[in-house]
Chains A and B, each alone.
Chain A
Amino acid sequence: MRLSASDPRVAAAAFDTRLTDGLGGLPAAEQLIAQSDRAEQFPAPVHDLLGDLGLADYCLPAQHGGGSADHEVLLHLWRVLARRDLSLVVAHGATHLGAAAVWIAGTERQLAELVESVRGGTVVGWGLPEPYCAAEIEHAELTAERIGDRYRLAGTKWPLASARSGLAVVLARTGPGEDERSLLMIRTDALAPGTFRALPKVLTHGIRGAEISGISFDGAEIPADALVGAEGTGTKTVLCARQLTRSVCAALPLGAGEHALRIATAWAVEESVADGRPLAALPTVRAGLVRSAALLAAMESAAVLTARSAHSLTDELSVLSSIVKVLAPALGDVLIGELAEVAGSRATPCGGAADGAAYAADAAFQKVARDHQTLVIFDGDGSVVRDEVIGQFPRLVTGFLEGTADRDGLDRAKALGTKVGRLDPARLGSRSRRGCSAVQSLPALTAEIGEFVEHAADELRELFDLARLLTWLADETHARMTEISPAARPTAEAYELASSYELLYAGAAVLHLWRAGVGERDDEPLWQGALWARAALYELLALLHHRLGLAPPLRNALRDEDAEQLLALLRAAVADGAPVTPFGPVAGHEYEEGRL
């Protein structure tokens, strides 16, 4: 397939090149990142460079000159950045959240002020978590008491990215009632001394370069026009803004997972075991690498489909963004755990070389692993996120049984390489009225794939078998979801089913994107015989069976020759920098658009 020069995958690769070149080449960039991590500081040269490259613009709405017109581009940009260092992306996540909230509910003046600050290099602090409640916004207890034309603040926001940046958007109580939480845009650099305290940088296990701290207010006063939206609308605004950010946040585990996969694959080839053969000679190591590549492809499908759906299925985003927010890091955990095993003692280099290039690779792997672990810091346990899907089970079940789907929106989301259309935040809602088109159209898609592969090669018929199995598991999952009665406190089973639903969504994403790309991309090795899609589905099906407490199917992995083929492609891709997944950044194309 010929990639258009404006393709997000090309843009991302171009961005990666400029970033790397800007830091003096790959070895220098890697060294800088490792040093900053050790020093627990954000690498200042990277901050400046990202400013020059205009990355923050992508967090800003298009009508204000920003690039937020395209979540797919943002996903890929964050992903290549995450591939270098997760710490670098965290701050942009906070800026995106703050900007999204002001875009949704703020005034033109507030938005203009925010845009100007971000353009000037300010990273926006995003104040949701409090010491005892992580992501549970219903527990936010920071108070903002209205006194004349001012609010007086008391309470603490922690842990918080970029708390000391000068500008923060925080959720606070403006009254005692449940629905009296409001969003405030605070110029922390304009607060009276002694009325607030910047808390020290938090010592974290991972993402050590990220500026994570907190802020404690003790009578700080801010003008009343700091209010974003009307009083009492804060919770709703947060819920909507969060959907936008969550729809691209899979970029972080995606980048981290790819980074880890590349390091571990290189090791497996060069590192030798007892008898002098390479690590990759061990059948369990080979299986681990294949499994990881398949999981990454599954994660990528869900991530890409969701980022595009933010534009074309905006009203479903309350479901989709929650799914991908939990799904992507969960798959990342499995993948990195698998790779840590492949890597053996090098993942915690007690047995590794004490210096030199090999040691740097060992340290880089460990860094990815702990950075990825620390991603949970802003969301706590996934159950808070899953609550949002569980609350919509009845709608999802009805939608699945009736087969309802926004065909046009879904088709646009699937049509990679075409413009997906403008994102209208007015279409965001706390509930998805239609449910989830991607999963609800799975039976129809499977039937259609059945017709498509009728006279095709064995591999494609195997894909059809996998699609049928996925559809059968979708039936089973929905049947069980029917049994869940709505409750303030969901049962453990409800959470298990939410997790199964996430896997169904990933499986559906794989099939939708494969179906949309087949024919056009047949010349690419990963696409031949639907190799990547089959590999990804085998992994998702195995996880689904386990999650649902079912015995695994008899065939639960690629045939040996297919696994070998995937491994060979992986090794080649790692050696020459080509994509390891079907939708990875593609270097070597000239990117024509001005900015990046």
Chain B
Amino acid sequence: MNLLPSDPDKVEAIFGDPWDQSNPLGHHAVLAADESCLPLTEAEQRLDEAGVNAAIVPQAEGGRFTQADVLARTLRSLWRHDPSLGVSYGLSPFNAGVAVWGAGDARQRQRTAAFLLAGRKIANCGFAPAYHDGSRAGLRATRTADGSWRLDGREEVVTDWARVEAAVVLASSEDEHARRGASLFLVEKSELPEGAVHHTPHSENAGLRGVPLGAGTFAHCSVPARALLGEPGRALETAAASVRLNRGLLPSAWVGSTDTALSAATMSVIEHRLHECDASEPATVRAALTDVFTDLLAVDAFSTVTLRALHLVPEQASAYAAASMYLSSGLVLDAFGTLRSVLGARSGLREGRYAIFQKLARDVAATAAGRPARTACLADVLPRLSQSARLFWLRGESAAPAGLFQLGTRLPELDFSTSATHPPGADSLISVLSASAQETVGSARLLGRLSKILLEQLDGLRAACAARDAAEDASVADFAMAGDYTALLAAAAAWGVHAQNPDLIDEVVLVAILARLLRRLPVPAVLNEREKAEVRDHLWHALVRRVRERRPSDLTAGQIPG
């Protein structure tokens, strides 16, 4: 690690020990804000004072954003404490900004950077990849005779409207209310006619209650011609970079929340053990906690590698981001379910030591659940999978760029404007998996056995892709195939990280990750009971040590307050 980001450390220092009852930004403060459906303004102020707001503005625009995996760690720290803040302070304004950096003119970029660097946020109106699952635009934009635009209609999801000076607004600019044919606008509130926008705050969101959400009704709201962001009717293309980055960043952010939930559950077990003077806990409890630990490392490896791929192999990375979002959302939602069974009664309490659990579970579910969104991810994965499986897999000629797995090293600049479509290309991750597995398949180690199955799965997937008629609508089986592919990509990412950083993922942990990922594929369990128990013990000791030493259970394993 030669590139230590300072922002995550700042965030951790500002929040301090979350379990400390006297800490004004501890879990109980986060919970109190959540109960009253308010943002944690005190934390926002402290973050602004420390200049964390500059983390979402590119260096070229005067901020500190250089690479996506570094921003992800800052977001992760926010999400470790309060996902609502992670969205309203980090992800949501960043997403809005990406549209401007990618498609905006010099003036729009400068205005946006100035707002963000001054500690103001940019609202998303109908343009919030964190919420939207690709459904319709609620607003309609009509161009008037003088070249300006008129916005009408009602948009159900508007973030932070009351507190911002500007918003990125999505509106359909054709007759039908479909996404295609929509345009984006950078709207400054000071330029809007009085009373043209009516904002109704949402009253009762299940998750992310600290994000000031509302619905916006626009009536004859005229905006100047220069508000148009990018080309008219091309919102889908303009938004592609935001969607891609959002899909890449969210899983990495979830790692923070899941880590807190995992620590809470592990602490409850340790505490329970002390109370009962009992030497051990039920075997199911250990299995549950180590399963979550394993999955958390897999999500971290996959999302971090995906974010690095956005810089290094952008033509491949859209599909990786969609795959990471799909698989990680499944893993993370399952992790919360598993932890719920460990915490038992405590998992449902909004008071007491573990109350933060139910809040994190709600917040994460608000961004991770939803078949339309997850199906949309798979739909974006399928065409690339078909192409590269047929054309490039197992040929071994496309090695991955060296930096992909060298976590913490510097990356080339991110291109915000890259369009969503790419010519068929190599599949770096799969080629890494295939090469590593072929090298190991003869080994008597557990990894040898896992390699054999991974290679069989790759073969099977390639055959299935070859047999598939790409012109037909995707069937449930096609989606299942794409789902299997996402698990193989995650396996590749973990293996790549292991090869370059064996201190972050050692061989036992890699075995655990691969075995868990293979459980999502239609194959028999690979490890027998004795092997499972050995792997589990190794992970269990590592987990307890990390929780006791207040180090997160992710690949950073750095020190956090508490």
Contacts and interface: CB of A to CB of B under 8 A. Distances in A.
Interface stretch (A333-341, A419-427, A511-519): A333-341
Contacts of A353: 156, 215
A366 B358 CA distance: 14
B195 interface: no
Interface string B210-222: 0101110000000
A139 interface: yes
A341 B285 contact: no
Interface in B174-214: 176, 178-179, 200-208, 211, 213-214
A37 to B, nearest CB: 10
Given A348-B206, A380-B345, A495 B362 contact: no
A376 B340 contact: yes
A294 to B, nearest CB: 14
Given A203-B350, A273-B372, A381 B156 contact: no
A344 B372 contact: yes
B445 interface: no
Interface string A318-358: 00000000000000010001001111110111111111000
B344 A351 contact: no
A354 B476 contact: no
B148 interface: no
Interface in A261-286: 272-276, 279, 282-285
B287 A341 contact: no
Contact of A492 (B133, B135, B283, B348): B283
Interface stretch (A73-81, A176-184, A459-467, A549-557): A549-557
Most buried by B among A38, A275, A341, A557: A341
A377 interface: yes
Interface in B320-361: 333, 337, 340-342, 344-345, 347-351, 355, 358
A106 interface: no
Contacts of A352: 156
A350 B205 contact: yes
B276 A381 contact: no
A29 interface: no
B282 interface: yes
Nearest to A201: B351
A383 B476 CA distance: 34
A275 B376 CA distance: 13
B351 A203 contact: yes
Most buried by A among B275, B369, B525: B369
A275 B177 CA distance: 9
A171 B282 CA distance: 23
Contact of B375 (A38, A275, A282, A552): A282
Interface in A423-455: none
A378 B479 CA distance: 38
Given A350-B131, A492-B286, A333 B345 contact: no
Contacts of B423: none
Interface string B271-283: 0100110001011
B522 A351 contact: no
B163 interface: no
Contacts of B131: 345, 350-351
Given A205-B358, A363-B204, A376-B344, A345 B350 contact: no
A422 to B, nearest CB: 35
Interface in A466-484: none
Contact of B348 (A343, A376, A550): A376
B373 interface: yes
Most buried by A among B136, B276, B349, B523: B349
A490 B350 contact: no
Contact of A350 (B203, B207, B474, B519): B207
Contact of B347 (A350, A355, A363, A376): A376
A550 to B, nearest CB: 5
B475 interface: yes
A374 interface: yes
Contact of B524 (A276, A374, A550): A550
A56 B87 CA distance: 47
A283 B156 contact: no
B350 A205 contact: yes
Contacts of B365: 340, 347-348
Contact of A203 (B345, B349, B473): B349
Contacts of A38: 204
Contact of B345 (A129, A274, A489, A493): A129
A489 B282 contact: yes
A489 B280 contact: yes
Interface string A488-515: 0111111100000000000000000000
Q: What size tier do the contact residues of chain B reach?
A: 35 or more
Contacts of A377: 344-345, 348
B132 interface: yes
A381 B344 contact: yes
Given A344-B369, A489-B282, A491-B529, A351 B132 contact: yes
Contacts, number: 191
A137 interface: no
B532 to A, nearest CB: 7
B282 A383 contact: yes
A350 B214 CA distance: 9
Contacts of A204: 348-350
Given A134-B344, A283-B476, A366-B206, A347 B369 contact: yes
Given A373-B348, A378-B345, A492-B532, A341 B179 contact: no
A127 interface: no
B340 A274 contact: no
Nearest to A206: B348
B283 A337 contact: no
A374 B348 contact: yes
B285 A272 contact: no
A354 B283 contact: no
Given A134-B345, A348-B365, A351-B157, A273 B371 contact: no
Contact of A551 (B369, B473, B522): B522
Nearest to A352: B156
Given A205-B358, A345-B131, A354-B214, A274 B179 contact: yes
Interface string B255-298: 00000000000000000100110001011111100000000000
A352 B370 CA distance: 13
A202 interface: yes
B140 interface: no
B38 interface: no
Contacts of B286: 492
A370 interface: yes
A288 interface: yes
Nearest to B370: A344
A74 to B, nearest CB: 25
A287 interface: yes
Contacts of A350: 131, 157, 202, 205, 207-208, 211, 213, 366
Interface in A188-209: 202-206
Nearest to A279: B372
Contact of B371 (A288, A366, A370, A492): A288
B133 A490 contact: no
A159 interface: yes
B542 interface: no
17 contacts: A132-B272, A159-B345, A273-B372, A284-B476, A285-B372, A340-B365, A341-B371, A344-B371, A345-B133, A349-B202, A354-B214, A354-B215, A363-B204, A373-B340, A380-B345, A490-B282, A549-B524
Given A348-B205, A549-B525, A551-B522, 7 more contacts: A203-B351, A282-B371, A342-B371, A345-B373, A355-B200, A379-B344, A489-B280
5 A-B pairs closest in CB distance: A549-B525, A380-B344, A344-B370, A341-B371, A203-B350
Interface of B: 131-136, 156-157, 176, 178-179, 200-208, 211, 213-215, 272, 275-276, 280, 282-287, 333, 337, 340-342, 344-345, 347-351, 355, 358, 362, 365-366, 369-375, 378, 473-476, 479, 519, 522-525, 529, 532-533, 536
